[in-house]
Amino acid sequence: MSRYVVIGAGAVGATLAAELHTAGIPVVLVARGAHLAELRWSGLHYVRPDGEHVVAVPVAAGPDDVELRAGDVLVLATKAQDAEAAIAEWAWQPVKDADGGTVAAADALPIVLLQNGLDTERVALRRFATVYGAVIWSPTVYVTAGEVVSPADPAVGVIWVGRYPSGRDARLEEVAADLRAARHLVEVVDDVPRWRAGKLLQVIGNALDALYEPGPLRGRAAAALRAEARQVLRLAGESPADLRAETTLDLERFAVRPIPGRPTAGRSTWQSLARGASPESDFLNGEITLLARLHGSEAPRNAAVLARVHQAVREATPVGSLDDADLLRVLPDLAVLVDPDSLAEELAGANPPMLLDVRWALGDPHGREHHREGHVPGAVYVDLDTELAAHPADPTQGRHPLPDVEDLQAAARRWGISAGRPVVVYDATGGLAAARAWWLLRWAGLTDVRLLDGGLAAWTAGGRPVETGPGPDPEPGDVELTGGHMPVLDADGAAALARTGVLLDARATERYRGEVEPIDPRAGHIPGAVSAPTGDNLASDGRFRRADELRARFAELGAAGKVGVYCGSGVSAAHQIAALTAIGVDAALYSGSWSAWSSDPDRPVATGPEPGSS
C-alpha cells in the first residue's frame, strides 16, 4: 500500500490527509508554523456537516522529519506561489530502495500537484520523472490554525488527474483508487492541461472575491476577467475543458452543506488574505497576463486586478471591504463595455440585461429593416432619429438635440426597461450609434448601461445565434428617469472649453479641416478644438482599442483635466465619451455639436489642420 506524503496542510491538503487517514491509508501531513504546533498538540480539528472530529493524522515539519521510502507518493498541496520552493526542497531528498540503497525522490517517486494555475507542472517536470497534474474542487476552509471546515457531503471534493503532459499509467490508477477511498470523486483524464486551463477560468475571479463586497458589479467583473482569459488562452493555443459539461463524474454526490455556527468563507485567495498569507494571484491573473505578453498581446483587466491585489496586501486591506467605486477605478471599462462572451453569460443568468438594437447610420434610414434581418435574440429595436432625439424647429439646437426626459422615459418604458435591470446597447457600426443610447440613458440617471463591444459583428463572430423578424414585444417597463447625470455643454461652454481646456472634434479629419461638409451649413471646426476622429477609438475588428492604446491616444491629444467633445450632431461624440470613460476620463458632451454651431452665423469658424483661435 502506498504512503502519501501531503506537503502543505492548508484547506486542500489537510482535508485530503484527514480522509486518507480515516480510510486507513498511510499518510504524513507536512505543516509549518502555528498550524503545525496545533496539529501536534491536539490533532486536526476537522469540522464536517455531521459535527467536529479530531483526526490524529501524523504530521511532520519538512523533509528532515520524513524518511522517504520506495512506494511513497508525494502530494503537493501548497499554494502555487510556494510550489517551486517546495518542489526544489523535496526533489533531491533520498529515498530508500529495497536493497538498502538510496535514490533521489525526483527519480523514484511520483508527485501529484494540486495547485491552481498552469505553472507548477512545468516546474515539477524539470526535476521529477513522474508528474501527475490535478484539478481539485474543494469548498474546505482553512483560516484558524489547527482547524479546517469541510462542508461538502457525501464527497468532500472532486479531482481530475492525469499524467503530465499527457496520458496515464498503472501507478496513477492506483493513486486514483486511493483518492476515491478518501471520499473524493476522481476522474483520470488523458489531457490534464486542458482541465487545468478550465479550472483557471473558474478561479480567475478569486481576487475579486477576496477584495470586494458581493454584488452585480463584482459578478460582471469576474465575467470580464474570464472573457479576457478565454481570449488569451485561445491566442496561446489552449483549449480549456468545460469541467461540468465534459466530466463523467456524478457531481450530484458533491454538494455543499451548511454547518451551523460556521459562516461561509471566501475562496482560496480570500482565505490567504484573511490569514495574512500571500495570495496566489500571480499564478491566476498573473498567468493570463504572462501568456498574453508571451504572444504579443496584453491582458489589461487581469493585469489591473493583479496590481490591485498587491496594493491591498501592502496596505493590509481587510477582506471583502472594497466597494464598487474602487472596482470601477481598477476596471473603468466595466461602466462602458461588455464583450460577447460576458454578455452571453449574463443573458443566461438570473438578471439578464435588456438588449437595445440601435441600428442607425448617417444616410441609412433602414435601421428597422436591418433589425428584422437579424439581431441578438431578444433585442428591442430603438430608432435613433425619433426616440433618442428631439425635433425642434430652431436649427441652432442641432440635428439631434437631447429629447425631453419625459419623452425619453416613455420610450424607455416602451422598450421594457425596468428599475434594477441592466441594459446593453449595440449596433452594427462598432458602437458609433449605440453610444448615443448609452450616453443618453446615463444622462437620464441609469448607471447600469453598457455597450456591446464590437456590436453585432462581434456577437456573430463567435458563432452565436441571431434572431430574425420584428423581435420581442416587451412588457412595459417602470423605469423612472431624470436628466442631468452626465455633463453637457452649450455653445458658449464649448467655446470657453476650447480656450481653457480640451475640446475634441470627433468628426472625420476632412470635415474638421473644412475640406468637405456633406450636411451642415458651414465647413470647418470650432476655433481651438482638437481633431480626434471617433473612428480612431476602434481597432480593425470594430471593437474598442485596448485601454493602454486609448490612454496613449488621448494623452497625445492632451485630453486631461477638463475635456469636452462634439461631432456633427451629438451622436458619434457619445462614442468618444464612452472611450474616455473606459479609461477613467470624464468628458462633457456639446450636444448641439457642429450642426448647431454652424447654423449660428454669429459663431466663428476655423479651417485647416490646426485648432486655430477664436
Pick the closest to residue 136 from 277, 243, 273, 250 (CA basis): 243
Q: Which of 141, 567, 574, 579 is catalytic?
A: 567
Q: Are 285 and 312 in contact (CB under 8 A)?
A: no
- Check: CB of residue 396 under 8 Å from CB of residue 599: yes
For residue 599, give the nearest of 520, 510, 495 by alpha carbon: 520
- Residue 425 near residue 438 (C-beta atoms within 8 A): yes
Query: Is residue 368 within 8 Å of residue 381, measured between CB atoms?
Result: yes
The conformation of residue 148, written as its DSSP 8-state character, comes to E
Nearest to 221 by CA among 355, 79, 326: 326
For 462, the grid coordinates are 463567435
**Residues 6 or more apart in contact with residue 351 via CB below 8 angstroms:** 216, 420, 421, 422
> Is 567 one of the catalytic residues?
yes
d(CA 121, CA 127): 10
Mapped onto helix, strand or coil, the DSSP state of residue 129 is coil
Whole-angstrom Cα Rg for the chain = 30
| Degrees to nearest 5, angle at CA 305 with 575 and 324 | 65
Give 325's contacts (C-beta < 8 A, 6+ positions apart).
Answer: none
Report how far residue 238's alpha carbon sits from residue 362's, in angstroms, rounded to the nearest whole number. Answer: 42
Q: Which residues contact 269 (CB under 8 A, 6 or more apart)?
A: 206, 207, 209, 210, 279, 280, 281, 284, 309
E strands, 155-245, are: 157-163, 184-188
Burial call 459-493: b when 16+ CB within 10 Å, e when fewer: bbeeebeeeeeebeeeeebebebebeebebbebee
Asked whether 112 and 134 are in contact (CB, 8 A), the reply is: yes
Residues in CB range of 493: below 8 A, 6 or more apart = 564, 588, 590
Active-site residues, by number, are 567
